[in-house]
Amino acid sequence: MDHFARLGLPAALDLDAGALDKAYFAQQRLWHPDRFVAKPPEERARASIEAAAVNDAYRTLKDPLARAVYLASLNGVEMPADGKTIDDPDLLMEAMESREELHEASTIAAVDTLAAKARDDMKSALGGLSSLFLANDRPAIRKALLRLRYLDKFAEEARARRTNLEAKG
């Protein structure tokens, strides 16, 4: 059973956050260990497996990028596994240049400007995914998701850089 089906939700890129939370809490209650205390061991074991799967589904679907990557995998888009490298020059040049800019940013304001741009880029890239999924354009979906991975990493690094600058005061 895929993560969407497990929570009884349509397999879609855009999920209503409220509906997701509601479905998750309902499933969590359903498989809660308290309800299985007096049940035979097989049922208790099954409940704990189900509860873990529900948690896993929720974690994946709650994050927009993780959800997009997951939906892509359901649609047959293969992402590079851990330890696999890519050599897409446009994407890597963009990643390299933005990381250089961040490295050189010496004030919190400069870091915030770069982080805001990365957030905007992520938002528009996520927005652009819908039409790619509609057309089931797998190579384009893969490319967009790889770029989103790098933007996400950039946002993470920008947060770390900001904390670092704040500590220096």
Partner 1 sequence: MAYSEKLIDHYENPRNIGSLDKNSEDVGTGLVGAPACGDVMKLQIKVSPEGLIEDAKFKTFGCGSAIASSSLVTEWVKGKTIDEAETIKNTDIAKHLALPPVKIHCSVLAEDAIKAAIADYRAKTAKKDEIKDAAE
104 lies in the binding site for partner 1 (CB under 8 A): no
Q: Which of 87, 104, 139, 168 binds partner 1 (CB under 8 A)?
A: 87
Q: Which of the residues 52 through 81 are near partner 1 (CB under 8 A)?
A: 79-81
The distance of closest approach from Cβ of residue 62 to partner 1 in the complex, given in angstroms and rounded to an integer, is: 20
Q: Does 84 bind partner 1 (CB under 8 A)?
A: yes
Q: Minimal CA–CA distance to 153: which of 99, 107, 105?
A: 99
Question: Interaction with partner 1 in 126-165: which residues (CB under 8 A)?
Answer: 146, 149-150, 152-154, 156-157
What is the C-alpha to C-alpha distance for residues 162 and 97, in angstroms, rounded to an integer?
18
Number of residues that bind partner 1 (CB under 8 A): 27
Q: Does 85 bind partner 1 (CB under 8 A)?
A: yes
CB of 69 to partner 1, least distance (A): 10
Core vs surface per residue 60-93: b (16+ CB within 10 A) or e: bbeebbebbbbbbeeeebeeeeeeeeeeeeebee
Residue 88 or 112 with smaller CB distance to partner 1: 88
Choosing from 18, 40, 83, 139, the residue that interacts with partner 1 (CB under 8 A) is 83
C-alpha to C-alpha distance for 143 and 126, rounded to whole angstroms: 12
> Nearest 10 degrees: CA dihedral of 132, 136, 140, 144?
50
C-alpha to C-alpha distance for 112 and 158, rounded to whole angstroms: 8
Interface with partner 1, residue 91, by CB under 8 A: yes
Is the four-CA dihedral 78, 85, 87, 114 of positive or negative sign?
Answer: positive
Residue 86 touching partner 1 (CB under 8 A) = yes
Which positions touch partner 1 (CB under 8 A)? 79-89, 91-93, 95-96, 99-100, 103, 146, 149-150, 152-154, 156-157
